[in-house]
């Protein structure tokens, strides 16, 4: 393997890791704060993608410029958070925080199944594809290999901004500190006057927006079709579990490891590329059962 091939594999890995990280970030945030493993996260991802494709298709048909796709991605992500995420927390999850983990898993899994069928009802079964946003940014050529600027530059950039932004938000803003306090000890936080219900609702909506944003950002690069949410949730779980549940920096590092592992596998030994994320997960959990960044006491599942 010469140096240029090494760099190519690096670029592919980083681009892939960026997308995985954005979805896993929402999942790990929700778990970190609410101690609930949200299987329906995968549906929110898929619905974010579907909504973006529909909105972009609609507005482009009205004659808007293709660059208008970018604000529409943000709109779709926020719609997912508010229209689906908020009612989900308010009407359903709020009732089961005190219940056993098995029940919580089953409830979010049920929501996942329901939302899968809702997608089929609304968008049908035919694949959608709309890459307007990606085409606006054009291509970049490195060592004779053409990349899209969208995947090579924009996605990693957004991932880094989200990582730094989330760190800043949790550590240096009032709301962030309220969330951290509630995460540490819910009862103590309530006793000093923090409205834990509102903190949970807010966190869940942010997590759902991140899932929707992952889908929105993925939409110009891939076919939007039934089942895409299931694939993403499995991979995100692998990332979150390897990182240590609730660990944001850990999720970034793990997403990067999985992205790079997968892309180097495609260059060196393509047959195992599918296995790589899970191999990494097994190896890490063998050595550190609580995850890369996890602490044993904080683990619930």
Partner 1 sequence: MKNLFVTRAAAAMVAAALPLAAGAADKPESLKIGMTAFLTGPASVFGVPARDAAEILIENINAAGGINGVPVDISFIDEGAGAEALTSEYRRMVESGGAEVMLAAISSGNCQTLAPLAEDLQVPNLMWDCGTQRIFEENDYKYVFRTQANATPEMLATVLYLLKTKPDFKTIAVVNQDYAWGRDSWDIFITALKAMKPDVEVVAEFFPKFGSPDFSTEISRLQAMQPDVILSTSWGGDLDTFVQQASQRGLMNTSTFVLPLAESSLERLGSALPDGHIIGARGDHYFLHPERRNDEDFKAFMTQYEEKTGDVSVYPVFHASQAIAALKAAYEKAIADNSVDWPSEDQLLAALEGLTFQGLGRPVTLREDHQGVEDQLMGTSVQTGEYPFATMQNIMIFDGDELTTPVGQNSIEWVGALDAGFVESVTVDTFEN
Compare residues 92 and 225 and give the one whose CB is closer to partner 1.
Answer: 225
Residue 131 CB, nearest approach to partner 1 (Å) = 6
Compare residues 140 and 285 and give the one whose CB is closer to partner 1.
Answer: 140
Residue 110 CB, nearest approach to partner 1 (Å) = 18
Compare residues 11 and 293 and give the one whose CB is closer to partner 1.
Answer: 11
Distances (CA, A) of 251 to 19, 159, 255, 287, 297: 12, 11, 6, 17, 19
Residue 256 CB, nearest approach to partner 1 (Å) = 15
Question: Does residue 23 contact residue 236 with C-beta atoms inside 8 Å?
Answer: yes
259, burial (CB in 10 Å: exposed 0-12, middle 13-18, buried 19+): buried
Residue 256, token pair as written in the block: 């990067």
Residue 146 CB, nearest approach to partner 1 (Å) = 5
Closest of 232, 204, 239 to residue 46, by C-alpha:
232
Binding residues (CB under 8 A) for partner 1: these are: 4-5, 8-9, 11-13, 15-16, 120, 125-127, 129, 131, 134-135, 139, 143-148, 151, 218, 221-223, 225-228, 231-232, 262-263, 266-267, 270-271, 273-274
Question: Does residue 33 contact residue 179 with C-beta atoms inside 8 Å?
Answer: yes
Compare residues 9 and 240 and give the one whose CB is closer to partner 1.
Answer: 9
Chain-centroid distance, C-alpha 264: 22
Compare residues 173 and 223 and give the one whose CB is closer to partner 1.
Answer: 223
Residue 39 CB, nearest approach to partner 1 (Å) = 18
Residue 260 CB, nearest approach to partner 1 (Å) = 10
Q: What are phi and psi of 5, to 5 degrees?
A: -65, -40
Question: Does residue 101 contact residue 37 with C-beta atoms inside 8 Å?
Answer: yes
Compare residues 10 and 82 and give the one whose CB is closer to partner 1.
Answer: 10
Compare residues 150 and 200 and give the one whose CB is closer to partner 1.
Answer: 150
The 8-class DSSP code of residue 88 comes to I
Residue 263 CB, nearest approach to partner 1 (Å) = 4
Which ranges constitute the DSSP H helices of 153-195?
155-172, 174-184, 186-191
Q: How far apart are the first and last CA of the chain?
A: 41
């Amino acid at each position: 393997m010469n140096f240029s091939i090494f760099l190519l594999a690096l670029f592919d890995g980083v681009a892939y890791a960026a997308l995985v990280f954005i979805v896993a970030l929402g999942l790990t945030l929700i778990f970190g704060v609410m101690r609930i493993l949200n299987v329906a996260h995968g549906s929110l991802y898929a619905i974010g993608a579907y909504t973006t494709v529909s909105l972009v298709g609609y507005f482009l048909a009205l004659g808007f410029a293709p660059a208008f796709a970018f604000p529409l991605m943000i709109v779709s992500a926020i719609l997912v958070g508010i229209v689906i995420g908020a009612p989900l927390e308010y009407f359903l999850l709020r009732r089961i925080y005190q219940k056993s983990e098995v029940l919580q898993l089953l409830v979010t899994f049920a929501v996942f199944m329901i939302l899968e069928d809702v997608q089929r009802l609304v968008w049908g079964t035919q694949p959608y594809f709309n890459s307007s946003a990606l085409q606006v940014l054009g291509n970049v050529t490195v060592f004779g290999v053409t990349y899209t600027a969208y995947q090579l530059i924009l996605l990693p950039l957004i991932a880094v901004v989200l990582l730094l932004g989330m760190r800043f938000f949790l550590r240096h803003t009032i709301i962030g500190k309220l969330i951290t306090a509630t995460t540490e000890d819910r009862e103590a936080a309530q006793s000093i006057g923090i409205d834990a219900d509102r903190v949970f609702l807010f966190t869940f909506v942010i997590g759902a927006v991140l899932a929707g944003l992952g889908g929105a950002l993925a939409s110009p690069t891939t076919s939007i079709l039934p089942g895409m949410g299931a694939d993403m949730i499995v991979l995100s779980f692998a990332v979150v579990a390897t990182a240590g549940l609730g660990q944001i920096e850990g999720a970034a590092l793990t997403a990067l490891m999985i992205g790079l592992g997968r892309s180097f596998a495609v260059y060196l030994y393509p047959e195992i590329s599918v296995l790589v994320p899970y191999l990494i997960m097994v190896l890490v959990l063998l050595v550190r059962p609580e995850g890369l960044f996890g602490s044993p006491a904080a683990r619930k599942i």
